[in-house]
């Protein structure tokens, strides 16, 4: 479809990783994250920003330390770092479209820093950050046009859900294999797997909606979000996991409608802590 777009996206990631491997042999930890950021910056529409760093909630709570995709044309970042991907940025929670845990080699078993367990705790922490939920309505900047929108089956009942993913270049299955990755791993992981998408070279763990048809057959429909009506399904796709992961990311981003930053609350909160000021004559 679209001129074999999936293979084209996959090759862009492979070329970026190959260049790093030739120069650094992946000795530098951040290089894998930086490579993904650079590819995404070239793939995504210009209104989206991509950086490494932390998601910051209104109350100051932070979570995550890997890749953040945010709406750059309406929201500022909290540190003036320019295009420097070697340093980590801080992004307001209201601006975040997606958070991605990037692991060069993802360990399916264990609890180390490169493990699925660790990645899941990171994505869970992002999803736990406080952010006002917006019911689906037609909106344009500050104007609520008042018309309610009914979400499609399987989609969240609010229009600004968190989207999180785990992307890796290689995978260490431990005592498991891709064939028994699910549900064996889910049952023994040790933390809830709320991550929407897990991409590996051997396949992807992705959300799908199950629907029982009138004739008793089962129909499954791909969905970007792990939500009430969706469940994780293991989908084998050799060497094209990151290409498929990018498609799901774009699908999720196209659906999300972010709120405005609470400028009134932010300004008035600052004014309360500022020195006493006097009315001009």
Quick: pLDDT tens for 75-97. Answer: 767 566 567 788 899 999 999 99
Residue 215: inside a domain:
no
Task: Specify whether the CB–CB gap between 89 and 78 falls below 8 A.
Answer: yes
Residue that the structure tokens 């992981």 belong to: 189
- pLDDT, one tens digit per residue, over 152-207 is 777 888 889 999 999 999 999 888 877 677 666 777 788 889 999 999 988 999 99
Summarize pLDDT for 253-281 with one digit per residue, the tens: 988 988 776 666 666 666 666 565 555 55
pLDDT at 142 over 50: no
The answer to whether residue 253 sits within a structural domain is yes
Question: Would you say residue 45 lies in a domain?
Answer: yes
Three-state SS letters, 103-159: EEEEECCCCCCCEHHHHHHHHHHHHCCCCCCCCCEEEECCEEEEEECCCCCCCCCCC
Burial class (CB in 10 A: 0-12, 13-18, 19+), 43: middle
In the chain, % of residues over pLDDT 90? 42
Round the CA-based radius of gyration of the chain to a whole number and report it.
Answer: 20
Q: Which of 114, 116, 125, 62 is nearest to 89 (CA)?
A: 62
pLDDT band at 18 (very low <50, low <70, confident <90, very high): confident
Rounded to an integer, the average pLDDT of 61-70 is 95
Q: Hey, what's the torsion of the CAs at 151, 157, 161, 163, to 10 degrees?
A: -60
Q: State the Cα torsion 75-78-83-85 to the nearest 10°.
A: -120
In a domain, 228, yes or no: no
Domain assignment present for residue 227? The answer is: no
In a domain, 74, yes or no: yes
Q: The whole model's pTM is what? A: 0.86
Q: Count of domains in the chain? A: 1
CA angle 222, 109, 118 (to 5 degrees): 75
Q: What CA–CA distances, in Å, run from 78 to 172, 186, 197?
A: 36, 36, 27
C-alpha of 85 from chain center: 17
CA–CA separation, 112 and 107 (whole Å): 8
In a domain, 211, yes or no: no
* DSSP 8-state class, residue 275: P
**Which domain range does residue 72 map to?**
5-201+235-273
- When mean pLDDT is compared across 4-13, 49-58, 73-82, 223-232, the lowest value belongs to 73-82
**β-pairing, 164-172 with 96-107?**
parallel
Q: Is residue 229 part of a domain?
A: no
């Amino acid at each position: 479809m679209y001129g074999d777009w999936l293979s084209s996206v996959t090759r862009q990631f492979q070329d970026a990783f190959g260049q790093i491997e030739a120069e650094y042999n992946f000795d530098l930890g951040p290089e894998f994250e930086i490579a993904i950021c650079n590819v995404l910056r070239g793939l995504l529409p210009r209104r989206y920003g991509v950086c490494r760093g932390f998601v910051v909630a209104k109350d100051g709570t932070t979570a995550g330390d890997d890749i953040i995709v945010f709406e750059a044309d309406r929201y500022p970042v909290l540190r003036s770092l320019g295009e420097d991907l070697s340093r980590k940025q801080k992004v307001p929670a209201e601006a975040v479209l997606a958070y991605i845990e990037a692991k060069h080699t993802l360990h399916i078993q264990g609890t180390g820093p490169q493990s699925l367990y660790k990645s899941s705790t990171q994505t869970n922490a992002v999803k736990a950050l406080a952010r006002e939920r917006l019911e689906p309505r037609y909106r344009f900047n500050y104007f609520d046009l008042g018309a309610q929108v009914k979400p499609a089956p399987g989609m969240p009942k609010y229009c600004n859900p968190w989207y999180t993913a785990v992307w890796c270049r290689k995978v260490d299955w431990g005592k498991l294999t891709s064939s028994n990755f699910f549900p064996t791993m889910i049952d023994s992981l040790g933390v809830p797997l709320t991550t929407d998408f897990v991409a590996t070279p051997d396949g992807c763990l992705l959300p799908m909606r199950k629907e029982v048809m009138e004739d008793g057959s089962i129909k499954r429909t791909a969905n970007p979000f792990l939500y009430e009506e969706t469940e994780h399904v293991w989908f084998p796709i050799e060497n094209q996991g990151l290409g498929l992961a990018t498609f799901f990311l774009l699908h999720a981003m196209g659906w999300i409608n972010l709120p405005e930053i609470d400028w009134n609350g932010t300004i008035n909160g600052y004014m309360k802590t500022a020195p006493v000021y006097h009315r001009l004559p």
